[in-house]
């Protein structure tokens, strides 16, 4: 399944670059790619408390800004993936939730780019976002709205 066209991917990566002055386009592309891998994993594991790193979240934010592209992506993934931003908080790092997310991605056959998931002590990739999402909050960083099933049409007697 093709998640984004080449042009859509480029536009989203350019949004990451625009939000992070000085960032190389290559790195922005890696971030968008990792955000896509995260969203695919989330869509296939709806009951798990998965959470992105701030770097991956930056790619997710860029995707969301491209509303039509993001809506179509979510449709391909089986339902709209809502994002609930938390207050910027550098100290909310939850190593267990990140470890679960990475293990779930790996179990699905995705090889996460660990540099983009690094904890606050070892993080070398700087982005504007400083939010560590915690799935223990009331709604967590994600909620997937399943696509409603069409109602059967009622035949009208002639």
The percent of residues in the chain predicted with pLDDT above 70, rounded, is: 71
Number of domains in the chain: 1
137 band by pLDDT with thresholds 50, 70 and 90: very low
Specify if 84 maps to a domain. Answer: yes
141 band by pLDDT with thresholds 50, 70 and 90: very low
9 band by pLDDT with thresholds 50, 70 and 90: very high
The span from the first CA to the last CA of the chain, in angstroms, equals 44
Specify if 157 maps to a domain. Answer: no
Q: What is the domain extent for residue 39?
A: 6-146
Specify if 94 maps to a domain. Answer: yes
Specify if 71 maps to a domain. Answer: yes
For residue 29, pLDDT over 60 is answered with: yes
Specify if 78 maps to a domain. Answer: yes
Specify if 152 maps to a domain. Answer: no
The arithmetic mean of pLDDT across residues 130-152, rounded, is: 50
130 Cβ partners below 8 Å, 6+ apart?
54, 88, 89, 90
| pLDDT tens per residue across span 36-59 | 999 999 999 988 888 898 889 899
């Amino acid at each position: 399944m093709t998640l984004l066209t080449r042009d859509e991917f480029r536009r989203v990566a350019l949004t990451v670059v625009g939000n992070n002055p000085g960032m190389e386009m290559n790195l922005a592309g890696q971030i968008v790619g990792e955000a896509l891998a995260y969203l695919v994993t989330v869509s296939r594991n709806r009951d798990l408390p998965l959470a992105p790193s701030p770097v991956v979240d930056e790619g997710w934010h860029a995707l969301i800004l491209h509303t039509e592209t993001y809506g179509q992506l979510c449709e391909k993934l089986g339902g709209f993936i809502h994002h609930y931003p938390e207050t910027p908080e550098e100290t909310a790092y939850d190593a267990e939730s990140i470890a679960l997310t990475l293990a779930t991605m790996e179990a699905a056959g995705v090889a996460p780019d660990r540099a983009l998931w690094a904890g606050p002590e070892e993080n070398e990739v700087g982005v504007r976002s400083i939010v560590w999402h915690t799935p223990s909050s009331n709604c967590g960083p994600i909620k997937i709205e399943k696509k409603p099933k069409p109602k059967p049409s009622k035949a009208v007697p002639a």
